[in-house]
C-alpha cells in the first residue's frame, strides 16, 4: 500500500500539486485506515488530505482517475471472477481477450474455444503463452503493472521513451520465450490455429501494454517533458524564438521576473544566527562587566533598487527588447521604482503604460510608437538627458539594452559618461555575442568604459542570471 500511495503522491507532484512530506505521511495513514477497496471513499479521504484549494482539487480529481484507472479495472475484473466462481462458471473462458466485437477474423474468434480445448494448448511451455490462453484480464493487468514497476516505467521522462518502455515491459513479461515457442509450433501444420490465436492475443496484449505506458507517461512524465522543453527554451536566443513558442516564452519571462522580485526585494532578518556583531554585543553588555548576557547578531536588509531601464527597440534588436520590456512589466508590482524608456531615434518614457495598461496594450503602444525605426543613439541620449538625467543619483541602477550599432553616427558618449558618474551602477546588455562587438557600425568600445558591467545577453537564461546578480547586490 505504501508503494501505491507513494507513486500516487509522485504523480500529484508531477502534475504541479504541492504535497509536503507531512501530507504524504497523512495520505499513507489515511489509506491504511480506509483501504484501497472502495475507490470513492479513498478518493474523498485522500482529497481532504492533499488538495488544499479548488484548483488543487480539480487537478487531484484528474490525477486520481488516471492513476487508479488500471486498478479499477483490476478490481472490477476480480469481482466478476469471484461471482462467476460462485456460479460454477469457468473463469478461463468467461472474459476472453478477444470479443465478438473485435476486428479480428470472425472464424478465428468462433474457433478460439476449440483451440483452447485442444490438447496442444495444455502443452504450452512459456508462462506468457499460458497466460494468454487463460484469457484472465485481471491477472494480465496485474502482470502488466508488475512488469512496469520492474522496468521503472514511472521514471520515464520523454514521450520518445514510450516505445522503449513498451518493449521492456513485453520483454519482462516473457516475450522472448513466447516468440521462441511460436517459432517451434509453426513448424507443424496442425499447430497453425493455435499459433494464429497466440499471435492475435499477443498483439492485443501489446496494445494493452501501450495503453498502460501511455497512462504512466501522462502521470509521471508529461510534466517532466514540459520542464525539459522550458529548460531548453530558456537557452534559445531571443532572436530565434519562433511564433509557436512565443506564448510559452512570455510565460517563462513573467515567471522568472516574479521569482527574482520575490527573492531579492524583501527584507532579510538574521536573529540568533549568522555572524556575531561584536561591537553591538560589547556595548549591550557593558553594564555586566563584560559578561555576555545578551548577544547581538548582524542583520542584512535588501532594499528595493531604484532602476532606470533603457531599451533600444530599433529593427535590429526589437525582438530581444520585447522580452526585456516584458520582464520589466512583470516587475512593476514588486519593484515600483522602475522607470522604463525606449528609443530607436527619439526616446520616450513608457513607465505610465506599464503601470496603467494590461500587458498586450502596453506592448502594442510601445512597439507602435518607437519600434523598428532607424537607430540614433545621439538623439536618444540627448532626449534622455532632458527626460531623466537630473533624477539619477547614487541609489540608481541604470540598465541599457542595445547593440550599440549607430549607423556610423556620433554616439553622444558625453551624456552616457554623466549617467555613469551620477548613478550607483550602469549595466549594458548587448544581445550580440562579444565577437560581433566593434564590428561594422558598432561603437560598443566607446560606451564600455562608462559601464560598471557589460554583458552579452541573448537568452532568458542570460537575462535571469544577470538581473539576479544585479538585484542581489543592490
The answer, yes or no, to whether residue 472 has pLDDT greater than 80, is no
3-state helix, strand, coil in the chain (%, to 5): 65, 10, 25
Q: Any long-range contacts for 190-197 (C-beta under 8 Å, 24+ apart)? A: 190/120, 191/120, 193/111, 193/114, 193/115, 193/118, 194/115, 194/118, 194/120, 194/121, 196/108, 197/108, 197/112, 197/115, 197/116, 197/133
**Angle (CA) 384 455 254, round 5°:** 80
Name beta bridge partners: 301: 267
Q: Which three cell numbers stand for residue 232?
A: 531548453
Which pLDDT belongs to residue 222? 62
Contacts of 345 (CB under 8 A, 6+ apart): 373, 374, 375, 376, 379, 380
- Of the pLDDT bands very low, low, confident and very high (cuts 50, 70, 90), residue 79 is very low
Closest CA to 451 of 405, 419, 408, 406: 419
The answer, yes or no, to whether residue 143 has pLDDT greater than 80, is yes
Which pLDDT belongs to residue 124? 80
Which pLDDT belongs to residue 447? 96
Which class would CATH give 304-472?
A: alpha beta
Which pLDDT belongs to residue 414? 95
Closest CA to 379 of 405, 408, 350, 410: 410
Q: What is the mean pLDDT of residues 72-80?
A: 44
**pLDDT over 90 percentage in the chain:** 17
Count other Cβ atoms within 10 Å, centred on residue 85. Answer: 12
Q: What is the pLDDT of residues 314-342, one digit of tens each?
A: 877 877 777 777 777 776 665 667 888 99
Q: What is the pLDDT of residues 18-74, one digit of tens each?
A: 788 888 888 888 888 888 778 788 888 888 888 888 878 887 887 888 777 654 444
Count other Cβ atoms within 10 Å, centred on residue 62. Answer: 12
Which pLDDT belongs to residue 87? 47
Which pLDDT belongs to residue 473? 59
Which pLDDT belongs to residue 416? 96
The answer, yes or no, to whether residue 144 has pLDDT greater than 70, is yes
Q: Which pTM was predicted?
A: 0.53
Q: What is the pLDDT of residues 426-459, one digit of tens each?
A: 999 898 889 999 999 999 999 999 999 999 888 8
pLDDT, averaged across the chain: 77
Which pLDDT belongs to residue 454? 93
Rounded to whole angstroms, the Cα distance separating 206 from 130 reads 16
The answer, yes or no, to whether residue 422 has pLDDT greater than 70, is yes
Rounded to whole angstroms, the Cα distance separating 474 from 463 reads 16
Name beta bridge partners: 425: 397
The answer, yes or no, to whether residue 1 has pLDDT greater than 60, is yes
Amino acid at each position: 500500500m505504501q508503494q501505491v500511495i507513494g507513486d500516487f503522491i509522485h504523480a500529484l507532484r508531477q502534475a504541479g500539486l504541492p504535497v509536503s512530506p507531512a501530507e504524504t505521511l497523512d495520505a499513507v495513514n489515511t489509506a491504511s485506515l480506509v483501504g484501497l477497496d472502495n475507490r470513492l471513499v479513498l478518493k474523498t479521504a485522500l482529497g481532504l488530505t492533499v488538495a488544499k484549494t479548488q484548483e488543487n482539487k480539480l487537478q487531484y480529481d484528474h490525477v486520481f482517475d488516471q492513476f487508479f484507472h488500471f486498478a479499477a479495472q483490476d478490481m472490477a475484473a476480480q469481482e466478476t471472477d469471484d461471482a462467476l466462481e460462485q456460479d460454477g462458471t469457468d473463469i478461463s473462458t468467461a472474459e476472453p481477450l478477444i470479443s465478438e466485437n473485435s476486428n479480428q477474423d470472425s472464424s478465428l474468434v468462433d474457433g478460439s474455444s476449440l483451440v483452447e480445448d485442444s490438447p496442444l494448448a495444455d502443452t504450452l511451455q512459456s508462462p506468457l503463452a499460458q497466460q494468454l490462453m487463460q484469457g484472465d484480464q485481471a491477472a494480465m493487468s496485474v502482470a502488466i503493472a508488475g512488469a512496469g514497476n520492474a522496468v521503472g516505467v514511472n521514471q520515464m521522462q520523454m514521450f520518445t521513451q514510450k516505445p522503449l518502455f513498451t518493449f521492456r515491459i513485453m520483454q519482462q513479461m516473457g516475450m522472448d520465450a513466447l516468440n521462441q515457442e511460436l517459432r517451434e509450433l509453426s513448424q507443424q501444420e496442425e499447430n497453425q490455429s493455435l499459433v494464429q490465436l497466440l499471435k492475435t492475443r499477443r498483439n492485443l496484449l501489446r496494445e494493452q501494454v501501450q495503453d498502460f505506458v501511455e497512462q504512466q507517461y501522462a502521470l509521471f512524465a508529461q510534466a517532466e517533458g514540459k520542464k525539459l522543453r522550458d529548460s531548453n527554451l530558456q537557452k534559445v536566443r531571443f532572436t530565434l524564438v519562433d511564433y509557436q513558442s512565443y506564448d510559452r516564452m512570455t510565460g517563462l519571462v513573467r515567471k522568472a521576473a516574479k521569482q527574482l522580485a520575490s527573492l531579492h526585494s524583501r527584507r532579510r532578518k538574521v536573529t540568533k544566527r549568522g555572524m556575531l556583531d561584536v561591537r553591538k554585543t560589547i556595548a549591550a553588555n557593558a553594564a555586566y562587566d563584560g559578561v555576555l548576557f545578551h548577544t547581538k547578531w548582524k542583520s542584512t536588509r535588501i532594499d528595493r533598487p531604484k532602476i532606470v531601464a533603457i531599451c533600444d527597440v530599433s529593427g535590429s534588436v526589437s525582438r530581444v527588447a520585447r522580452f526585456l520590456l516584458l520582464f520589466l512589466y512583470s516587475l512593476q508590482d514588486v519593484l515600483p521604482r522602475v522607470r522604463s524608456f525606449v528609443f530607436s531615434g527619439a526616446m520616450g518614457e513608457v513607465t505610465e503604460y506599464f503601470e496603467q495598461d494590461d500587458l498586450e496594450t502596453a506592448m502594442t503602444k510601445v512597439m507602435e510608437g518607437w519600434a523598428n525605426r532607424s537607430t540614433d543613439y545621439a538623439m536618444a541620449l540627448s532626449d534622455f538627458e532632458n527626460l531623466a538625467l537630473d533624477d539619477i543619483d547614487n541609489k540608481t541602477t541604470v540598465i541599457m539594452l542595445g547593440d550599440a550599432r549607430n549607423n556610423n553616427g556620433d554616439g553622444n558618449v558625453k551624456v552616457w559618461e554623466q549617467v555613469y558618474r551620477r548613478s550607483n551602477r550602469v549595466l549594458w546588455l548587448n544581445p550580440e555575442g562579444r565577437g560581433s562587438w566593434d564590428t561594422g557600425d558598432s561603437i560598443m568600445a566607446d560606451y564600455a568604459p562608462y559601464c560598471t558591467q557589460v554583458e552579452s545577453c541573448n537568452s532568458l537564461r542570460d537575462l535571469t542570471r544577470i538581473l539576479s546578480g544585479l538585484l542581489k547586490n543592490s
